[in-house]
Amino acid sequence: MVVAAAERAMRSGTEPLLEVRDLRTTYSLRGSFIDRLLGREAGSVKAVDGVSFDLRRGEVLGIVGESGSGKTTLGRALLGLVRPSDGSIRLDGREIAGLGERRMRPLRRRLQIVFQDPHASLNPAMTIGALVADPLRFHGLVSDAGELRDRAAAAVERVGLVPADQFLDKYPTDLSGGQKQRAVLARAIILNPEILIADEPVSMLDMSVRAKILELMLALKHEFDLTYIYITHDLATAKFFCDRIAIMYLGRIVEIGPAAEIYSNPRHPYTVSLLRAIPEPDPARAVPRDLPRGEVPDAVAPPLGCSFHPRCPRAFEVCGWESRDLRSQLEARWTRLDEREFQAERALVGDLAALDEPATECVLPAAGGRRGEEVKGVLDSLRAEAPDDPFWRGVASVAAEPHGARVRFHECIDPREVEAGPARLRCHLYDDEALARARSTDRGPGRG
Amino acid sequence: MIAREPVLEASGLRVWYGTEGDPVRAVDGVSLALRAGETLGLVGESGCGKSTLGRAIIGLLPDSAATAGSVRLRGRELLELEPSDLLSLRGPELGLIFQEPMTRLDPLVTIEDHFLEALREHEPELDSEEMRRRALEALGGMGIPPTRFRQYPHEFSGGMRQRIMIALALVLNPKVVVADEPTTALDVIVEAQILGILADLRRNFDAALLLITHNLGIVAEACDRVAVMYAGKIAEEGPARQVFSEPAHPYTRELLRSTISLSTTGLHYIPGAPPDLIDPPPACRFHPRCPDAMRVCAERDPVEVRTGEQRVLCWLHGPEDRIPPGGHAPLERREIALAEEA
């Protein structure tokens, strides 16, 4: 193994080990029974929506995101466990996206994965020895029972399950959570892979054990010259573990850069919010209260423009404001009003479902027998409540019509990748073109 | 904070599971007091008995559990109550917030009806207008828009459901609320929103809150006091600021050191694992893992020592007259194997 590692270090040049370009995966939704009966399309979810990055030999790349960010799907797509719908994955220059199972199988010796739940990763009917040696058998590398056991013993000892004889004949249920995760790591390294994808490897473990497993992973990395992709929701362990960090939100990498830069000088407002939201074990330091409102939106119908814009404290004209944001604003106002005021306003406005179809121009309908002027009055009070809310920067005009109030939003731009210092991000705040477009709307109708 | 009479007081509480021969002593002699308007954090590694203690306090232990000692809610002994009497306390006196809100919300009942049903059950004297007003107020306070009251639980996001469950626990103005890992299933920004809500409860409600968590950051954020549990016992308890800045028990100190946060500069861990609660180590249960263990720690049960508002179960703090001659000598022990861990 040591020889192989040295060889590998020799040929490591400047070429990235893994090059991912504009990778996309799409899940089709099953829809309801009626949908299928009528042959209606139930839509699809873009779990990974145009992701590009390089993985350099020997580095630890952190892929950090909340639930629904697509980080797990991305990890699986790299291994060919999820078929990408578009884009390219090159391993040492060779295209591996979309390879069939038969051609992917030998490559899995070079790419291994460790999942979050060690218990679910280990077949309860097999002994630890058989589980750890299984990849050798499966890939037809070793068939001799004695050699399989020796190789398993060496791997098991390497991950700290010492003495190996005490563990090889045990079953997964006999082991604690941390010990199981060690066994999973032993199985992952037994093929001497080049890339290890670790998907939340410590998040199911107790605080007191996490550090031990992370330390073990770092030691294995140095010993076997491994390259890691560390997938996590936890920015604190990623800070410790990673050389570079990619922050994902709703299927996209919104910011990627050297770990030191991401933590000391986060640029994307989403990264900034994530870092501020982590509670420190220090009662003297409180988490700030002005965190983004709401939650990660539904990936089936993502927001227009930048997916983060509805929650972004710094969003502006071109970030993607639209009809559904108006609905959220109204509902948030009604939550704050007392019941009588709420009922009075609610009686003026018709069905809010008119706002559910994403559009940059919409009519908020008046209730039966009510006039558009009255609906505009509701919007005026909404605006008076928080005139500086980023939402109002997105509104180009509000006009009363006979049966409702017409709201026009500024045209949105889909954020493209831009360079900012050593980081690459998707955010209009760092895109001169988007900033210029926003400035030009200042002179447009309806402002101020 | 003004010291008030405890609303809930556990003393000498024991809970064990299984047969008489080989019982699992999940809670082993715990005394704890909850005061109105105060949040007590209960922390420890998994398998230390935190959840069992929380469940014992609200009378939600499974039938296989046996109890001894006492849990008094405003002077009333809960351990001796008939199940039906206990049930009637749940809601108006004892509130619950779980990790997964869908365990509590009925998927076939609208959000509004959840609230109306709870109020009808426990406060039947209210007229329907008043019930509606109370439901609206509770939901509005948690940021649930009134336009969505007639929707069903599955139509809400995870964070919204957790807010609904908190509102549902609070609508009957309970005296004691137990929250077991209420934010563990949530994303970090939503978790921070919910922690803000829980921290505000101290000011806006008079309930005493027991917050069970494995995350010390959450305790620092939302709790006035903290109790650190190890192997069925309270190792240390006191004001959160004091315990975090000057942990008296080596376990608390090691737990704080092994927490990985944004300000972590070095990896640290506690060797070994929490003990098996069927046959825990003798004397101080932490002694096999304790870097400061002395000879007395393996020989005699530690005695609770109070210093100001802090109490600790550790021989390092005496009492000196109970430590036998030579008891201060460092404990010689076998090396703990790397892989003996949780």
Residues A82-119 pLDDT 10s: 899 999 999 999 999 988 888 888 888 899 999 888 88
Domain identity same for B43 and B155 = no
Mean pLDDT in residue range B300-326 = 90
Residue in chain B closest to A218 (alpha carbons) equals B267
Closest CA to A96 of A112, A80, A111, A82: A80
Instruction: Please report residues of A whose CB lies closer than 8 A to that of B41.
Output: none
As given in the structure block, the two tokens for residue A370 are: 């009510």
Whether B333 maps to a domain, the answer reads no
Whether B135 maps to a domain, the answer reads yes
Q: Give the C-alpha separation, B268 to B260, whole Å.
A: 9
Domain identity same for B65 and B200 = yes
Mutate to test the interface with A, among B162, B215, B254, B261 (most CBs of A within 10 A): B261
Amino acid at A396: A
CA distance between the termini of chain B: 38
Whether B83 maps to a domain, the answer reads yes
Query: Is the pLDDT score of A278 beyond 70?
Result: yes
Whether B335 maps to a domain, the answer reads no
Cβ of residue A344 closer than 8 Å to a chain B Cβ: no
Residue in chain B closest to A270 (alpha carbons) equals B189
Domain identity same for B52 and B67 = yes
Instruction: Please report residues of B whose CB lies closer than 8 A to that of A179.
Output: 339, 341
Handedness of CA B133, B135, B139, B144 (dihedral sign): negative
Query: Is the pLDDT score of A446 beyond 90?
Result: no
Check A210 against B260: CB less than 8 A apart.
Answer: yes
Please state whether B262 falls in left (phi above 0), alpha (psi between -120 and 50) or beta.
alpha
pLDDT in tens, A67-81: 889 999 999 999 988
Mean pLDDT in residue range A211-229 = 92
Residue in chain B closest to A183 (alpha carbons) equals B339
Check A277 against B341: CB less than 8 A apart.
Answer: no
Provide the pLDDT confidence category of residue B264 given band limits of 50, 70 and 90: confident
Query: Is the pLDDT score of B3 beyond 60?
Result: no
Name the A residues in 248-267 with CB < 8 Å from any B CB. Answer: 263
The residue behind tokens 């998707």 is A426
ipTM: 0.88
pLDDT of A448: 36
pLDDT of A445: 41
3-class DSSP string for B245-284: HCCCCHHHHHHHHHCCCCCCCCCCCCCCCCCCCCCCCCCC
Residue ending a domain, among B125, B142, B173, is B173
Check B188 against A235: CB less than 8 A apart.
Answer: yes
Query: Is the pLDDT score of A61 beyond 80?
Result: yes
Residue in chain A closest to B268 (alpha carbons) equals A211
Closest CA to A215 of B184, B271, B275, B230: B271
Q: Give the C-alpha separation, B69 to B67, whole Å.
A: 7
- Average pLDDT along chain A: 89
Domain identity same for B86 and B4 = yes
Q: Which of A237, A273, A295 sits opposite B159 (nearest CB)?
A: A295
Residue in chain A closest to B252 (alpha carbons) equals A208
> Considering the entire predicted model, what is its pTM?
0.90
Exposed, middle or buried, A59 (CB in 10 Å: 0-12/13-18/19+)? middle
Q: Are strands A227-232 and B310-313 parallel, antiparallel or unpaired?
A: unpaired
Q: Give the C-alpha separation, A280 to A277, whole Å.
A: 9
Domain identity same for B61 and B148 = no
Domain identity same for B81 and B218 = yes
Domain identity same for B218 and B145 = no
SS3 A253: strand
Contact in structure between A180 and A122 (CB atoms under 8 Å): yes
The secondary structure of A38-96 as a DSSP string is TT----EEEEEEEEEEEE-TT-EEEEE--TTSSHHHHHHHHTTSS--SEEEEEETTEE-
The CATH number assigned to the domain holding B195 equals 3.40.50.300
Contact in structure between A183 and A159 (CB atoms under 8 Å): yes
Domain identity same for B11 and B34 = yes
pLDDT in tens, A117-165: 888 889 999 999 999 999 999 988 988 999 999 999 999 999 999 889 9
Cβ of residue B255 closer than 8 Å to a chain A Cβ: yes
Instruction: Please report residues of B whose CB lies closer than 8 A to that of A346.
Output: 146-147
Instruction: Please report residues of A whose CB lies closer than 8 A to that of B195.
Output: 279, 287
Residue in chain A closest to B130 (alpha carbons) equals A339
Provide the pLDDT confidence category of residue A171 given band limits of 50, 70 and 90: very high
Whether B293 maps to a domain, the answer reads no
Task: Measure Cα distances from A207 to A236, A241, A341, B210, B222 in Å.
Answer: 12, 15, 48, 21, 19
Check A339 against B341: CB less than 8 A apart.
Answer: no
Query: Is the pLDDT score of A214 beyond 70?
Result: yes
Mean pLDDT in residue range B4-27 = 87
Provide the pLDDT confidence category of residue B125 given band limits of 50, 70 and 90: very high
Whether B303 maps to a domain, the answer reads no
pLDDT of B340: 64
Q: Give the C-alpha separation, B197 to B34, whole Å.
A: 19
Q: Which of A206, A282, A352 sits opposite B147 (nearest CB)?
A: A352
pLDDT in tens, A336-386: 888 889 999 999 999 999 999 999 999 999 998 899 999 999 999 999 999
Task: Measure Cα distances from B173 to A197, A261, B207, B213 in Å.
Answer: 48, 47, 7, 23
Provide the pLDDT confidence category of residue A444 given band limits of 50, 70 and 90: very low
Check A332 against B196: CB less than 8 A apart.
Answer: no
Domain identity same for B37 and B181 = yes
Provide the pLDDT confidence category of residue A1 given band limits of 50, 70 and 90: very low
Instruction: Please report residues of B whose CB lies closer than 8 A to that of A160.
Output: 338-339
Domain identity same for B9 and B65 = yes
Task: Measure Cα distances from B124 to B5, B91, B106, B168 in Å.
Answer: 30, 13, 21, 16
Q: Give the C-alpha separation, B231 to B302, whole Å.
A: 14
In total, how many domains does chain B have?
2
Give the domain extent around B31.
1-93+174-266
Contact in structure between B89 and B73 (CB atoms under 8 Å): yes
Check A211 against B214: CB less than 8 A apart.
Answer: no
Contact in structure between B27 and B68 (CB atoms under 8 Å): no
Instruction: Please report residues of A whose CB lies closer than 8 A to that of B133.
Output: 339
pLDDT of A447: 40
Instruction: Please report residues of A whose CB lies closer than 8 A to that of B255.
Output: 207-208
Check B45 against A206: CB less than 8 A apart.
Answer: yes
Query: Is the pLDDT score of B338 beyond 60?
Result: no
Contact in structure between B40 and B62 (CB atoms under 8 Å): no
The secondary structure of A185-228 as a DSSP string is HHHHHTT--SEEEEESTTTTS-HHHHHHHHHHHHHHHHHHT-EE
pLDDT of B1: 45
Whether B314 maps to a domain, the answer reads no
Handedness of CA A39, A42, A45, A50 (dihedral sign): positive
The residue behind tokens 């469940």 is B55
Instruction: Please report residues of B whose CB lies closer than 8 A to that of A235.
Output: 188, 262
Query: Is the pLDDT score of A45 beyond 80?
Result: yes
Q: Give the C-alpha separation, A288 to A274, whole Å.
A: 11
Provide the pLDDT confidence category of residue B274 given band limits of 50, 70 and 90: confident
Mean pLDDT in residue range A247-273 = 96
Out of A23-32, A270-279, A390-399, B78-87, least confident range:
A23-32
Domain identity same for B142 and B16 = no
Q: What are the residues whose beta carbons fall under 8 Å from the beta carbon of A92, sequence distance 6 or more?
A: A15, A17
Of the CA atoms within 13 Å of residue B35, those in its CB half-sphere come to 11
As given in the structure block, the two tokens for residue A79 are: 């291994």
Query: Is the pLDDT score of A3 beyond 90?
Result: no
Check residue A430 and report its DSSP letter.
G
Residue ending a domain, among B119, B153, B173, is B173
Contact in structure between B179 and B165 (CB atoms under 8 Å): no
Q: Per DSSP, which regions of chain B are E strands?
A: 6-17, 24-35, 39-43, 65-73, 76-77, 94-97, 176-180, 208-212, 225-230, 233-239, 304-307, 310-313
Check A292 against B189: CB less than 8 A apart.
Answer: yes
Looking at CA atoms only, how far is residue A14 from chain B in angstroms? 30
Quick check: bond before B325 cis, omega within 30? no
Residue ending a domain, among B173, B196, B223, is B173
Whether B38 maps to a domain, the answer reads yes
Domain identity same for B71 and B6 = yes
Longest dimension (CA), chain A: 86
Contact in structure between B96 and B178 (CB atoms under 8 Å): yes
Mean pLDDT in residue range A420-446 = 84
The secondary structure of B313-338 as a DSSP string is E-GGG--GGGSPTTTTSBPP-PPPPT
Instruction: Please report residues of B whose CB lies closer than 8 A to that of A273.
Output: 189
Name the A residues in 292-311 with CB < 8 Å from any B CB. Answer: 292, 295-296
pLDDT of B342: 54
Looking at CA atoms only, how far is residue A53 from chain B in angstroms? 25
Closest CA to A82 of A197, A189, A181: A197
Closest CA to A202 of A177, A183, A224: A177
Provide the pLDDT confidence category of residue A285 given band limits of 50, 70 and 90: confident
Q: Which of A210, A240, A331 sits opposite B147 (nearest CB)?
A: A331
pLDDT in tens, B188-242: 888 888 888 888 877 777 889 999 998 999 999 899 999 999 999 999 999 999 9
pLDDT of A146: 92
Q: What are the residues whose beta carbons fall under 8 Å from the beta carbon of A147, sequence distance 6 or more?
A: none
Q: Give the C-alpha separation, A305 to A326, whole Å.
A: 15
